[in-house]
Amino acid sequence: MSIFTKIITGEIPSYKVAEDDNFIAFLDINPNAKGHTLVVPKKEEDKIFDLSKEEYSSLMDFSYRVAKAIEKTIVCKRVGMSVIGLEVPHVHVHLIPLNSMADIQFSQKVKLSNDEFIALAKSISKNFE
């Protein structure tokens, strides 16, 4: 069982931003930038291109809605998107508020307190439509 499935089942906590029957979005615990969010299908699949076309399209639709909520919440030049999965073998889309190229490079990290994570997740989720 992946660490993200444990988040989905509630076994471990997360800073949840949005959820429906098939997807969940929560803040990345080691963010590149404030507002860095992961969008995850509840069905545990390792690689994104092993999803069916329909599942892939639904993931992109859900990610679009989450990205819009991030844009409304975080001041940034744009929201970037990346799919890696080398660390956690459960499909996830990284949505990252960008101000510079460094924000998408997974080398520079920002530290947030528990209270900051909670407030941030709440603000983004309020803007989720």
In the set 21, 87, 115, 129, which binds ligand AMP (CB under 6 A)?
87
In the set 11, 22, 29, 105, which binds ligand AMP (CB under 6 A)?
29
36 is annotated as an active-site residue: no
In the set 81, 88, 98, 104, which binds ligand AMP (CB under 6 A)?
88
Q: Is 118 in the site for ligand AMP (CB under 6 A)?
A: no
Q: Is 103 in the site for ligand AMP (CB under 6 A)?
A: no
- Checking 72-80 for CB contacts under 8 A at 24+ apart, the result is 72/127, 73/35, 73/120, 73/123, 73/124, 73/126, 73/127, 74/34, 74/35, 74/124, 76/33, 76/35, 80/104
